[in-house]
Chain A
Amino acid sequence: MKSNKLNQIILNIFMISLSVFCLIPIWLLFSASLTDDSEIIRNGYSFLPKDISISAYSYLFDGSLGIMNAYGITILVTIIGTVTGLALTAMLAYPLSRFEMPFKNTLAFFIFFTMLFNGGLVPTYLIYTNIFEIKNSLWALIVPSLLMNGYFIILMRTFFATSIPRPLIESAQIDGAKEWKIFYSMIIPLSTPVFGTIGLFYTLLYWNDWNNGLIYITDSHYYSLQNLLNRILQDIQFLQSSTQMGNKGDELVANLPLGSMRMAIACIGIVPLLIAFPFFQRFFVKGLTIGSVKG
């Protein structure tokens, strides 16, 4: 038992150093977001800024950008997207994990194929705007290319196939339970770790997505947080590097706090997710209790 305690210490030291490795740049990010811009240009980024300035944050939150509205859109889209995405994914992944599923391999290939080949931006856009007319609507932020991801389906299928004991399903079948019932009352509760993981991935995906907004949204009322922020980043980048714009570009970005704002943008994108993390970790805990106590 003694060596066990030692083990724990070594393991913890390892994890702490890994965490530090991951956190140091984030700390830099945060402190840079609080540094004045001319200070950044003069002395570079530093871990402990001399003069703390919140000008980047006050610029972002002064109301003219509509950040609060964008937060609202992002949260709504993330919740709807994650829940429906998770439901659809599980409903497709579960049958594929069962050998009774007809055309199982063909369908798995059908899914895998979508992960490699796509029609490209223009055809996808044509279908979504001409047939489904989702441009400038909330659907645009939820449905295209995010709602279901082949990667998650295959991951989930693997989980169902490896972690759900086959005899459990068989005994339920003997008891005469319907497939839907087995799925709801047995598979879902048994699979909380994977629901937690995939749910987290969906959340990250929706939260961080700006590509759909870039493509399908031109009306600023529907800007999600990342859209709003990435638009600023993209514009700065374009204006500074475009030879077409010359000094006009410089003048246009002159009034934006540059270095610190980029960092502030990243920070305000991260914080809400930090708050949401514990929620997902509850799923893991449930998974643990079902797998009963270890070690």
Chain B
Amino acid sequence: MRKNALKTVLFAIMALTLVITAACNNGKSGNSDTTSNESGETSSDLKPVNLVVAFPMVTDQKDMELVQNEISKITKEKINATVKLVPIGFGAYSQQKTLMLSSNEQVDLMISGLGTHSQDVAKGLYVELDDLLEKKGKGIKDAFETTIGSDILNAVKIKGKTYGIPVIRNMAQDISILMRKDLVEKYKIDASKIKTLDDLDPIFKIIKENEPNITPIAKSSNSILTVLNGINGELLGDGTGLSNKDPGLKVVNWFETEENAYLLNTVRRWYQAGYIDKDSATSTETGFHLMKAGKAFSYPNLIDPWFNEDSSTGRETVVVHLKSAPIATSSINSFMWSMAKNTVNQERAMMLLELMYTDKDVVNLLNYGIEGKHYVKVSDDIIDFPEGVNASNSSYFPAQVWMFGNSLLSYHLKGEDPEVHVKAAAATKNALKSKVLGFNFDSEPVRTEIAAVTNVMNQYQVALETGMIDPATKVPDFNKQLKAAGMDKIIAEKQKQLDAWAVSNK
């Protein structure tokens, strides 16, 4: 009896699984059937093709499929291609990229960059784009030309070849300190007088003395200095950098420089005076959240040059611009579009990419969804949520405008500065550019050393940059360990590549 019952249950479950899977597979093949059937209708002489576009996205958008179908209607007509959008969580993106590209799954276009572009190119993840751009992607080049400038597009070349197209967005940013407006007004702080970090001390003192529950300065992302480092030099990764004082291109150990010592001493002074939270090094709350919760008076950040006030945290803040951050390769190549080596059709993928940089409808579908359903037009370029809908309950509102192709083609949400795209284009075009813009380091020859150095940096950097430990005694230890881990070899390799780059770039 028992035996039979068990058997029956087992079989039933097996059968159920089979049916479910069969159903799923049918669903899939059904989809691809319909796409190929539709193809006959277009008069285009292009062969119909379905293109897969993968990108990171923070939350799943419920109506992603609807938007995908809308976009496919446009692409069907213009380039006889349908589109499949594959959003992947930010946390999983780099792993999923590795997996999809090591198998032969179809991926045509994908977001690249995110700090690993030169390694990815060296490992053969992406298709070289120069010829394709020339043949099928003229519009992209023009889009750069007319907005933020072609030098941005050229800066991400690796060994003279293009493997990624940067997103067209504002890249000119100032190293700034955001301060709570209500407190600035309450204590009559003259923000316009702040020119250097030393000017901040008296202000923090006032806050510390009068507002015991508010931290004078909080960190941005990992430490207080993540953003502020740029005041005195340009970091090239792996603990190396170029000093702002040096007119040439001498790669140095950033932690051995006077410029960094000044910054570390400042932070240490702040920490000892109680201007920085004691748990700042390990806290999971950044300045943004502390500001939002009313716990922080200020935090450093990179801010668009024309912004003097900011309220993204839900609190009015005054923006103190300290210095403009030169546009560096690393800020351009943080988000780019690349063509995966697995693409089924290079030319068509390039044509789709061109649409993402030139077609206003495609860009806005990606950014804001379907008109009437996910947004309503207030005027030509200004949109608003439909009634009863807001950013958090909308069934399509990715809020990642800075990721989809040409962000300067996007509509403005009501309340946004309608001139922002013009300002962005002009500011980026005229912005100060890094003297090593276009240099991409190939880490291949020093992989072992980078692995070891990264570990040493993990032990010291954040603790130093939040003032937890004394730079006077710990920096020498730190540098000794960096040396032991092979820092000199990394610097030598970087210098070699940089010199070669400088010669070929003359």
Spell out A's residues near B (CB within 8 Å): 37-38, 41-42, 59, 62, 64-66, 76, 79-80, 83-84, 87, 121-122, 125-126, 129-130, 135-139, 142, 184-185, 188-189, 214-215, 218, 220, 223, 231-235, 237-256, 258
User: How far, in whole Å, are A118 and B221 apart by their CA atoms in the complex?
Assistant: 36
- A77 to B, closest residue via Cβ: B17
SS class, residues of chain B in contact with chain A = mixed
Any A CB within 8 A of the CB of B422: no
CB atoms of B99 and A215 under 8 A apart = yes
B290 contacts across to A, CB distance below 8 A: 41
**Residue B244 at the chain A interface, CB threshold 8 Å:** no
A246 touches B221 (CB 8 A): yes
Please indicate the chain A residues that have their CB under 8 angstroms from the CB of B302 in the complex.
246-247
The answer on a CB contact under 8 Å between A64 and B301 is: no
- Say whether B222 contacts A241, CB under 8 Å: yes
Interface hits, B67-97 → A, CB 8 Å: 86, 88-92, 95-96
Determine if B3 and A64 form an interchain contact, defined as CB atoms under 8 angstroms apart: no
**Whole-angstrom CA separation of A286 from B79 in the bound complex:** 67
Give the interface size bracket for B toward A. 35 or more
Not counting A83-B13, A241-B221, A245-B334, a sample of 15 additional A-B residue pairs whose C-beta atoms are within 8 angstroms of each other reads A38-B294, A64-B393, A80-B13, A84-B14, A130-B104, A138-B17, A188-B6, A218-B86, A223-B60, A234-B91, A235-B59, A239-B58, A239-B90, A242-B221, A243-B226
- Contact check, A252 vs B103: say whether CB atoms are below 8 A apart: no
B58 touches A235 (CB 8 A): yes
Contact (Cβ within 8 A) A254 B58: no
Considering the complex of A and B, which 10 residue pairs feature the smallest CB-CB distances, nearest first?
A234-B91, A250-B288, A41-B293, A238-B91, A231-B89, A38-B293, A184-B3, A238-B90, A252-B58, A220-B60
Select from chain B the residue with minimum beta-carbon distance to A127: B103
Q: Is the pair A37, B293 in contact by a Cβ cutoff of 8 Å?
A: yes
Q: B430 on the interface (CB 8 Å rule)?
A: no
- B2 interface residue (CB < 8 Å to A): yes
- Pairs A–B under 8 Å by Cβ, sample size 16: A64-B62, A64-B395, A80-B13, A122-B98, A125-B99, A126-B102, A139-B17, A215-B96, A218-B88, A234-B90, A234-B91, A238-B91, A243-B226, A247-B220, A253-B58, A254-B288
Could you tell me the distance in whole angstroms from the C-beta of A39 to the nearest C-beta in chain B? 9
From 296 to 350 in chain B, residues with beta carbon under 8 angstroms from any chain A beta carbon are: 301-302, 312-314, 334
**B473 located at the interface, meaning its Cβ lies under 8 Å from any Cβ of chain A in the complex:** no
Which residues does chain B contribute within 8 Å of A136, judged by CB atoms?
24, 28
- The residue in B96, B289, B302 that gathers the most chain A C-beta atoms within 10 A of its C-beta is B289
Majority SS at the chain A contact face: helix
Q: Which of A126, A235, A247, A255 makes the CB contact (< 8 A) with B91?
A: A235
* Closest CB in chain B relative to A58 CB, distance in Å: 11
Q: Which residues from A are CB-within-8-Å of B28?
A: 136
Flag if A240 contacts B284 (CB, 8 Å): yes
What's the nearest-Cβ distance from chain A to residue B179, in Å? 15
* A240 close to B221 (CB less than 8 A): yes
CB within 8 A of B220: which of A66, A122, A246?
A: A246
Q: Mark B136-153, 1 if CB is under 8 A from A, else 0.
A: 000000000000000000
In the assembled complex, B402 has its CB within 8 A of some CB on chain A = yes
Select A235's contact among B10, B90, B286, B400, beta carbons within 8 Å: B90
Please judge, given known A-B contacts A232-B59, A252-B399, whether A247 and B312 are in contact too, CB under 8 Å: yes
B40 at the interface (CB under 8 A from A): no
Is the pair B99, A244 in contact by a Cβ cutoff of 8 Å?
no
Question: Roughly how many angstroms separate A262 CA and B260 CA in the complex, as a whole number?
Answer: 37
CB A108 to nearest CB in B, in angstroms, measures 26
Contact assessment for A254 and B17 in the assembled complex, using a CB-CB cutoff below 8 Å: no
Could you say which residues of chain A place their CB within 8 Å of the CB of B62? 64, 66
Q: What is the minimal beta-carbon distance from A49 to any residue of chain B, in angstroms?
A: 16
Q: Is the CB of A137 within 8 A of B395?
A: no
B44 contacts partner chain A, Cβ-Cβ < 8 Å: no
From the candidates B21, B221, B400, name the one contacting A252 in the complex (CB within 8 A): B400
Taking CB atoms, residues of chain A closer than 8 Å to B134 are none
Tell me the complex Cα distance, A255–B288, Å.
12
What's the minimum C-beta distance from A89 to chain B, rounded to whole angstroms?
14
Q: A42-B294, A64-B393, A239-B90 are in contact. Are A87 and B10 (CB under 8 A)?
A: yes
- Beta-carbon nearest neighbor of B99 in chain A: A125
CA distance A185 to B286 in the complex (A): 62
Q: Write the chain B residue with the least CB distance to A216.
A: B99
Q: Which residue in chain B gives the minimum CB-CB distance to A255? A: B392
A138 lies within 8 A of B20 (CB) = yes
Tell me, in angstroms, the Cα distance from A214 to B17 when the chains sit together.
21
Closest to A41 in B: B293
* Most chain A CB neighbours (cut-off 10 Å) among B113, B114, B213: B114
Shortest CB distance B84–A (Å): 10
- For the complex formed, measure the closest distance between the CB of B4 and the CB atoms of chain A, giving whole angstroms: 10
User: Is B9 in the interface zone, CB < 8 Å from A?
Assistant: yes
A237→B91 contact, CB < 8 A: yes
**Residues of A close to B16: CB separation below 8 A:** 80
A80 and B90 contact, CB distance less than 8 A: no
* A258–B289 touching, CB < 8 Å: yes
Q: How far is the CB of B14 from the nearest CB of chain A, in Å?
A: 7
Q: Which residues of A contact B114 (CB under 8 A)?
A: 242, 244
Given known A87-B10, A254-B312, contact A231–B92 (CB-CB < 8 A): yes
CB distance from B259 to the nearest CB of A (A): 19
Of listed A142, A215, A239, A244, residue having the most chain B CB within 10 A: A244
| B377 located at the interface, meaning its Cβ lies under 8 Å from any Cβ of chain A in the complex | no
Residues of A within 8 A of B24 (CB): 136-138
Hey, which chain B residues are within 8 Å of A242, CB to CB?
Answer: 90, 114-115, 221
Contact A125/B102 with A38-B294, A64-B393, A237-B91 known, Cβ cut-off 8 Å: yes
Contact in complex: B288, A247 (CB < 8 Å): yes
B258 to chain A, nearest CB (A): 23
